[in-house]
Structures are given as C-alpha cells and as structure tokens.
C-alpha cells in the first residue's frame, strides 16, 4: 500500500484527500500530522497559495521521509478585492473559527447586491518527494456568496458559497461525491493524482 503524508490535521480534509487519491492510486493510506512524530510546522508566510503549499510539503517530506502532499486553499471575494485569500483560515483572527470567519465575511459584504457577490475558491496542491522532486497544481471553483449560512457538510466557507456549477445550493449542502466533482481541491487533486501515481510507483 502506498503511504502518503498530508501536512494537515484537518480530519475532513484528510478524508477528502484519501477519497480522491484512492480513486486514482488504488491502495493508498493518507496519514496526517497527528499520525507522525510532532515537528515544528512552517509559518505560512508566502504571499500566494502555491508558495504556502510548497513550504508545508517540503518540510513534511524532509521530516517524515514520506511522499508529502500539502495544500493551501482559500476564498477570494470580488467585492473584497480578492480577500480573504491566503488569510482565509484566520480571517477573523485567533483562534481559528469557521463560524466567526463566516460571520465576519457576511457582515463585510452585507450591503453588496446579489449581482456583485461573485467569489471563487482556489486550491494549490503541492507534492514533494523526499528526493526533492516537486509538483504543484492549482484548482479553482467559481461561484457567489450567499446572504446566510446553509448546510451542514463540508468545512470552512462552504456554508456561504454557491458554486456556479451547482446554483441554488451551497457546497455545504452537496453530497461528498457531488462536491468532489466540482471543488477546487477535487480538480487540483484529479490533475495531480496521475502524476503522483507515476512518481510513487
């Protein structure tokens, strides 16, 4: 069985990564930060998603000796000039809270009319092997911000985001297979998975 390290302790992200990679790699075990000896995680101070994903993947591969995947993703809102962007997870300040992030975002664009509530999710996925070989791909999902949270699935800003590919429902209201098919992370992983399969074979 192929063992791949995902530099994250987000249980929902680990589950999503396992599901999508397994469809391409077959027998694969995705392990997270809680499954390896603790190490000092890098500060995500790059100005873009790709840079942050590479920071995490390089350190993970060096420390664990495992093929390592890391992603950095976020929400870019047109009315906020692309913010929160790389600051998405900590938009409302510490400690990290999806609920507070969503409340702040909705408050910031409360007066923005429906036709100007465009937004998109971006996910940069980096894959780094212990020998130094690297891959990075980026996926995107376009849509709009709703006026109130809806749904109980997904995580992060899913409860306030309607994808253009599935109008009328938030991505938190989609079943997992439907979300995987259109999500920014799903698209990036489907693009990188065949290359990962070749490199780890």
Q: Which residues pair with 100 in a beta bridge?
A: none
Q: Is 131 a catalytic residue?
A: no
Where would I find the beta strands (DSSP E) of the chain? 2-6, 28-31, 68-77, 118-128, 134-145, 161-163
Please state the φ and ψ torsions of residue 154, each to the nearest 5 degrees.
65, -155
Q: How far apart are CA 112 and CA 106, in angstroms?
A: 10
Q: Is 156 assigned a ligand-binding role in the annotation? A: yes
Which one of the listed residues 40, 72, 165, 175 is annotated catalytic? Answer: 72
Q: How far apart are CA 139 and CA 127, in angstroms?
A: 14
Q: Is 8 assigned a ligand-binding role in the annotation? A: yes
Q: Is 157 assigned a ligand-binding role in the annotation? A: yes
| C-beta of residue 122 within 8 angstroms of C-beta of residue 140 | yes
Q: Is 9 assigned a ligand-binding role in the annotation? A: yes
In terms of DSSP bridges, do strands 118-128 and 134-145 run parallel, antiparallel, or are they unpaired? antiparallel
Q: Which of 93, 96, 128 is nearest to 7 (CA)?
A: 128
Q: Is 45 assigned a ligand-binding role in the annotation? A: no
Q: Is 11 assigned a ligand-binding role in the annotation? A: yes
Q: Is 179 assigned a ligand-binding role in the annotation? A: yes
Q: Is 13 assigned a ligand-binding role in the annotation? A: yes
Q: Is 72 assigned a ligand-binding role in the annotation? A: yes
Annotated binding site for Mg(2+): 72
Binding residues, by number, are 8-13, 72-73, 155-158, 179, 184-185
- Catalytic positions: 72
């Amino acid at each position: 069985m192929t063992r791949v390290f995902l530099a994250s302790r987000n249980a929902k992200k680990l589950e999503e990564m396992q599901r999508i990679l397994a469809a391409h790699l077959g027998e694969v075990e995705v392990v997270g930060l809680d499954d390896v000896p603790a190490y000092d995680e890098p500060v995500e101070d790059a100005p873009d998603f790709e840079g942050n994903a590479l920071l995490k993947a390089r350190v993970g591969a060096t420390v664990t000796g495992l093929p390592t995947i890391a992603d950095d993703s976020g929400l870019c809102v047109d009315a906020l000039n692309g913010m929160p962007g790389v600051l998405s997870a900590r938009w409302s300040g510490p400690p990290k809270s999806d609920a507070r992030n969503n409340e702040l975002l909705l408050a910031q664009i409360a007066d923005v009319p429906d036709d100007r509530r465009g937004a998109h999710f971006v996910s940069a996925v980096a894959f780094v092997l212990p020998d130094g070989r690297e891959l990075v791909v980026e996926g995107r999902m376009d849509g709009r911000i709703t006026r109130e949270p809806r749904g109980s699935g997904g995580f992060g800003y899913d409860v306030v985001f309607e994808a253009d590919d599935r109008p009328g429902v938030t991505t938190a209201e989609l079943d997992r297979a439907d979300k995987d098919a259109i999500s920014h992370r799903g698209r990036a992983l489907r693009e990188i998975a065949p290359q990962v399969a070749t490199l780890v074979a």
